[in-house]
Amino acid sequence: MGLIHSFYTQSFPPKSKFSVNDIPDLTGRVIIVTGGNTGIGKETAKALLAHNANVYIAGRSQEKVEEAIRDLKEQTGNEANFLKVDLADLHSVKAGAEEFLK
Ligand SMILES: NC(=O)c1ccc[n+]([C@@H]2O[C@H](COP(=O)([O-])OP(=O)(O)OC[C@H]3O[C@@H](n4cnc5c(N)ncnc54)[C@H](OP(=O)(O)O)[C@@H]3O)[C@@H](O)[C@H]2O)c1
């Protein structure tokens, strides 16, 4: 029975009860979004900026992140910050964390 129930709920998930419109005002909140220059990360950054969060987009390509920051500013009116981090390189992660804490 559990297997059939799981198969059904995974195949036909219920309608979401929480949407981007339910996010409260995030003024004063500081949020780091990794991979925020594209895909799911960019959509996440967009939703957070639209609700006034102070967003840091952590990425390995300054050029790509700055392009995303410009794009997101046009869409939300709010500007994110760039944080240089290559998640595949622990030295870069440490440097990025130190830069952020400054
Ligand atoms: N569980 C689920 O149902 C589900 C569904 C969809 C996606 N996902 C997962 O969610 C994640 C994002 O998906 P997506 O479709 O948005 O992917 P995507 O469009 O390929 O974006 C990946 C992001 O990660 C960044 N990135 C990759 N390697 C990095 C590194 N070493 N250091 C810093 N940034 C790095 C990329 O930066 P660059 O542009 O510099 O490469 C890009 O911004 C993936 O892991 C995917 O597998 C899960």
Per-residue model confidence as pLDDT tens for the chain (102 residues): 689 999 998 999 988 899 999 999 999 999 999 999 999 999 999 999 999 999 999 999 999 999 999 999 999 999 999 999 999 999 999 999 999 998
Ligand 1 mean position to 40 CA, how many Å? 7
- Domain-located, residue 18: no
In a domain, 45, yes or no: yes
Q: Is residue 68 part of a domain?
A: yes
> What is d(CA 57, CA 37) in angstroms, rounded to the nearest whole number?
7
Give 82's strand partners. Answer: 57
pLDDT at residue number 83: 97
The per-residue pLDDT for 14 is: 87
Task: Tell whether 6 is covered by a domain.
Answer: no
Residue with the smallest CA separation from ligand 1 atom 35 is: 35
The SS3 of residue 29 is: coil
CATH number of the domain enclosing 64 = 3.40.50.720
Tell me whether residue 13 is in a domain: no
Predicted local confidence at residue 2, as pLDDT? 85
Q: The domain containing residue 44 runs over which residues?
A: 25-101
CA–centroid distance, residue 75 to ligand 1 (Å): 21
The CA-atom distances, in angstroms, between 86 and each of 42, 57, 79, 83 are 17, 12, 22, 10
Residue 19 located in a structural domain: no
Per-residue confidence (pLDDT) for residue 48, from 0 to 100 = 98
Q: Amino acid letter at 54?
A: N
Q: Give the dihedral sign, CA 66/71/73/76.
A: negative
CA 25, distance to chain mean position in Å, is 16
pLDDT for res 62: 97
Pocket test of ligand 1: the residue of 60, 63, 90 to mutate, having most ligand atoms within 8 Å of its CB, is 60
